[in-house]
Amino acid sequence: MVMSKNPVKYSCRTETEKPKILLASAPSKACYLAVEHPDDWGFDPSLKEYQHSSQKWLDDAVTEHNKMVETVKGQGIEVLYVEHLLGQREAECRDYVSREFKKTEARIEGFGRKIENAIHASYEKMLESPVDGLLLGLEAGKSFEKLSYETKLKVYRSIKTLMPQNSLYFTQDPVISTPSGLVKSKMAMWDRKQEPDILQLALGKENYMHELKNTTEGGDVTMFSYVHGGDIFFADSIMLLGISALSGRGIEKEAENLKDKAKLNLVKFYVPDFFDQSLQYAGGNVMHLDTLFMPLSDIALLGNRRMMKETAVREHGKPIRDAYSWAQGKFERFVEVPDDEHLKWGANVLPVGDNTVISSEHLTKTNSNLEKAGITVIAIPNPTLTSGYGSIHCMVAHIG
């Protein structure tokens, strides 16, 4: 589906050069439920043992986020905020909330008068402050916020909309930035379905050139095509696509459409959880491509050797091979993410050009390997933010 025929404002030619504009979103009160009930909302299950209040988590997360943004700006890169962009489109946000609420009306009738009234009160509150309401969802209303967690979860799982946007600070996932414009992602996790809508509201539909959709095979067999921004890289006029257990084969047809529109070559990576779903992370999180490796420049790649060897690569008509063998033929230098830092998001660093990356302080071995390879490492603290199951590359979207 072509979304725009006019010149677009936002795009990304390659992620191996210095970006001009990155998109960010600050963690907010919308994260509270995810911190308190991580198993249901795709956050690190160890948060169940968290000894502090949700407010303490948020205070620390905001501090880390501000440090990340300060570091990015220090590299001469502009940072746009989702919240600010939404504030310039309040009327569109209000219309969106209204449309989403209308979808729920038939479903909420069976919850009983008390819950129905609480939902309606939240809806009115969301309309009063559409940007805050959009981010907080039904938690914007006091009466709904005070309902038992079990009741609220039942409502959210039923209506699948108007939810608190606890993972929106991972702005990489809901939007795919290509050389020809933006692509609307299709989220696999139940609690993140609205994120692509919200980013499209913020960035403007006119800047989108494609929207992912389900495809069919054999007439009426639905082929799902879930894919997140962290599943696609652009490097040296090549689109690198990660295909996971949740993206399914349906994304392959979509990828061919994107390849043709963006006028790029395409390399497909079938990541390990495509073959073994037990490798999916806790809370329904999928194994994104940026969990396995990260192109740092046209000549250097950072990755976990073991997981890359378990990743199958399909490139044009060439024989299928593993991702590590592919990397050896494509890049002059391979920088190792040790096994014990792979699940600490070792490959999930942010290249900012000039042979420099922003990484996490706790990745001591990976950062040492990067420096030995001649890469400048700016290490920042982010243990709180990464409890949302992602790291620095996930927390910004390359849009210019």
How does the average pLDDT of the chain come out, rounded? 91
Q: Tens of pLDDT along 93-114?
A: 999 999 999 999 888 988 999 9
Same domain, 37 and 138: yes
Q: Tens of pLDDT along 196-231?
A: 999 999 999 999 988 887 655 545 555 567 888 889
The DSSP code sequence of 129-192 is SHHHHHHHGGGGSHHHHTS-HHHHHHHHHHH--S---TTTT-TTTTEEEETTEEEE-B--SGGG
Q: Does 394 reside within a domain?
A: yes
To the question of pTM greater than 0.85 for the whole model, the response is: yes
H or E element at residue 344: none
Same domain, 183 and 153: no
Q: Does 1 reside within a domain?
A: no
Same domain, 153 and 191: no
Q: Which residue has the higher pLDDT, 189 or 99?
A: 99
Range in 20-29, 78-87, 125-134, 188-197 the model is least confident about: 188-197
Same domain, 213 and 318: yes
* Beta-bridge partners for 240: 233, 267
Same domain, 380 and 314: yes
Q: Does 7 reside within a domain?
A: no
Same domain, 197 and 307: yes
Q: Does 181 reside within a domain?
A: yes
Q: Does 73 reside within a domain?
A: no
Same domain, 215 and 141: no
Residues across the chain: 400
Same domain, 212 and 292: yes
Q: Does 104 reside within a domain?
A: yes
Task: Give whole-number Cα distances, 212 to 183, 216, 221, in Å.
Answer: 7, 13, 17
User: Based on the structure, what is the number of domains in the chain?
Assistant: 2
Q: Tens of pLDDT along 126-137?
A: 999 999 999 999
CATH value at residue 246: 3.75.10.10
Q: Does 369 reside within a domain?
A: yes
Query: Cα angle at 247 between 351 and 153, to 5 degrees?
Result: 95
Look up the domain containing 229 and give its range: 175-398
Secondary structure of residue 382 in the 3-state scheme: coil
Q: Does 120 reside within a domain?
A: yes
* Beta-bridge partners for 24: 81
Q: Which of the listed residues 108, 125, 159 is the one where a domain comes to its end? A: 159
H or E element at residue 328: helix 323-330
